[in-house]
């Protein structure tokens, strides 16, 4: 494996969704242990994998703000109730294992088709994200968890093709296969997980609410986006670096919580009108690294729940200040949740918009054509959490206020 350089994983899309709940409160039922066969299967699964505290994937996990540690290390054999094990959730009545969260657990090894993991047929939620399963493929057996609602195989160094059997998970509401890539130094190639059956899978998973496929190599790109139109329950979609092109599909404005389409080749303009009421819960909107152009419509600045707005590395232009008429009709007071804003490397011009001073953590307006002065007075208390403020490469003048 020495010829492999594992990429240092960077966060392409900021995910704001909450992590899986790993334990649910249930009555004191120490008399009733977990099922013997499931306990055996779990121990076999644990023993089939090594623990590597120094893997690069653990560092990637730490950069996401989670503390990596070996959850399986505390799993004990004799007579113990596996429902109490770290990362395990059981149904309080049947005592079957219904949830397994081994994300960021320093696991290293492969998951072959005969792994005892696949005997846990009651699983509703499975999270193996941020472990090193190189050079495993995603086994077709993952399609056998017929009750699965959430599947998270993000950032695991899985290789090869996403199996068609994923389409057989009728209850799947959340699927995360993002960021499974590595550099094969022998062939000097950047390799991604491939998804040749994207259309079939997505058309069958009609209950999907969250879909994260960042850096997955979707084969039929031309028709893939239209296959997503029927996912009427979709709340979060992340397709960063998937090689999509053409105009932004209109159905994305029906997605209610998180939209990330960064690092593709989308072209054209943002629509001047959308149904804003549908977007009132939207927390994250990331279109950076495309070839979008034209003015940024004012509705984008009136989304009350937006925490993250990234439009950088596009050809957007025009002024961001809004005329008094528009301001009266649509005051910009709804951007009050914004924490991170990047508009860098576009072609914005005119004075700095006053509302940027409502952004609480990071502001990047570098590499544009903004002109004028910085405001001499601001409400500093609002900016006390600000960690980054970049105005470089503009045409601003005047004094830098103290």
Instruction: Kindly report each contact of residues 320-326 with a partner whose C-beta sits within 8 Å and lies 24 or more positions away, as own/partner.
Output: 320/296, 320/348, 320/350, 320/352, 320/353, 321/350, 321/351, 321/353, 321/354, 322/298, 322/353, 326/298
Question: Is residue 318 close enough to count as binding ligand NAG by CB under 6 A?
Answer: no
3-state secondary structure of 208: coil
Q: How far is the CB of 100 from ligand NAG (least distance, A)?
A: 12
The reply to whether 154 sits near ligand NAG by the rule CB under 6 A is: yes
**Residue 374 and residue 357 in contact, taking contact as beta carbons nearer than 8 Å:** no
What's the chain's length in residues? 402
**How many amino acids of this chain bind ligand NAG (CB under 6 A)?**
58
Minimum separation from the CB atom of position 122 to ligand NAG (A) = 18
For residue 71, give the DSSP letter.
G
Q: Is 217 in the site for ligand NAG (CB under 6 A)?
A: yes
Q: Which span sits near ligand NAG by CB under 6 A: 86-94, 164-172, 368-376, 384-392? A: 164-172
Of the residues 6, 35, 147, 221, which one makes contact with ligand NAG according to CB under 6 A: 6
Query: Taking the complex as a whole, how short is the minimal distance between the CB of residue 40 and ligand NAG, in angstroms?
Result: 11
First-to-final CA distance of the chain: 54
Report the alpha-carbon distance of residue 388 to residue 362 in Å, rounded.
Answer: 5
- Which of 318, 398, 322 lies closest to 350, judged by CA? 318
159 binds ligand NAG (CB under 6 A): no
Q: Sign of dihedral through CA atoms 220, 204, 140, 104?
A: positive
Is residue 203 a contact point for ligand NAG (CB under 6 A)?
yes
CB of 148 within 8 A of CB of 168?
no
Interface characters, 63-102, with ligand NAG (x: CB under 6 A): -x-x------------------------------------
190 binding ligand NAG? (CB under 6 A): yes
Q: Is 110 in the site for ligand NAG (CB under 6 A)?
A: no
Cis preceding-peptide flag for 135 (omega within 30 of 0): yes
Min separation Cβ 388 and ligand NAG, Å: 19
188 touches ligand NAG (CB under 6 A): no
Rounded to whole angstroms, the Cα distance separating 56 from 1 reads 14
Task: Kindly list the residues in this chain that would bind ligand NAG in the complex (CB under 6 A).
Answer: 6, 15, 17, 19, 28, 30, 52, 54-56, 64, 66, 103, 112, 114, 116, 127, 129-130, 152, 154, 167-168, 170, 174, 176, 190-192, 194, 200, 203-204, 210, 212, 217, 219, 226-227, 229-230, 250-251, 254, 276, 280, 302, 304, 330-336, 354-355, 358
């Amino acid at each position: 494996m020495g010829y492999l350089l594992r990429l240092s994983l960077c966060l392409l899309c900021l995910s704001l969704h909450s992590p899986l709940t790993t334990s649910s409160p249930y009555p004191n039922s120490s008399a009733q242990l977990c099922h013997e066969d499931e306990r055996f299967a779990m121990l076999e699964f644990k023993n089939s994998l090594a623990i590597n505290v120094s893997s690069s994937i653990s560092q990637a996990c730490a950069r996401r703000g989670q503390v990596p540690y070996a959850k399986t290390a505390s799993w004990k054999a004799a007579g113990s109730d596996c429902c109490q094990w770290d990362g395990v959730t059981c149904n309080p009545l049947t005592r079957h294992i219904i949830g397994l969260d081994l994300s960021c657990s320093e696991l290293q090894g492969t998951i072959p088709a005969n792994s005892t993991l696949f005997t846990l047929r009651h699983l509703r939620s499975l999270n193996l994200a941020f472990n090193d399963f190189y050079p495993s493929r995603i086994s077709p057996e993952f399609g056998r968890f017929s009750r699965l609602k959430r599947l998270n195989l993000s950032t695991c160094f899985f290789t090869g093709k996403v199996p068609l059997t994923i389409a057989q998970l009728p209850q799947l509401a959340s699927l995360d296969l993002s960021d499974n890539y590595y550099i094969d130094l022998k062939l000097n190639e950047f390799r991604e997980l491939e998804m040749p059956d994207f259309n079939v899978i997505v058309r069958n998973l009609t209950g999907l609410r969250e879909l994260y496929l960042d850096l997955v190599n979707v084969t039929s790109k031309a028709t893939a986006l239209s296959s997503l139109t029927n996912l009427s329950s979709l709340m979060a979609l992340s397709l960063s670096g998937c090689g999509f092109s053409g105009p932004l599909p209109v159905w994305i404005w029906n997605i209610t919580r998180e939209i990330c389409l960064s690092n593709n080749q989308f072209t054209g303009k943002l629509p001047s009108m959308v149904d804003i009421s549908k977007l009132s819960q939207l927390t994250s909107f990331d279109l950076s690294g495309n070839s979008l152009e034209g003015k940024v419509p004012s509705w984008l600045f009136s989304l009350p729940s937006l925490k993250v707005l990234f439009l950088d590395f596009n050809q957007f232009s025009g002024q961001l200040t809004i005329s008094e008429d528009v301001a009266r009709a649509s005051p910009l007071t709804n951007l009050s949740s914004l924490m991170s804003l990047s508009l860098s490397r576009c072609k914005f011009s005119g004075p700095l918009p006053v509302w940027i001073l409502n952004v609480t953590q990071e502001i990047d307006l570098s590499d544009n054509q903004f002109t004028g002065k910085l405001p001499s007075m601001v409400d500093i208390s609002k900016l006390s959490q600000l960690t980054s403020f970049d105005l470089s490469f503009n045409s601003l003048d005047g004094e830098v206020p103290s």
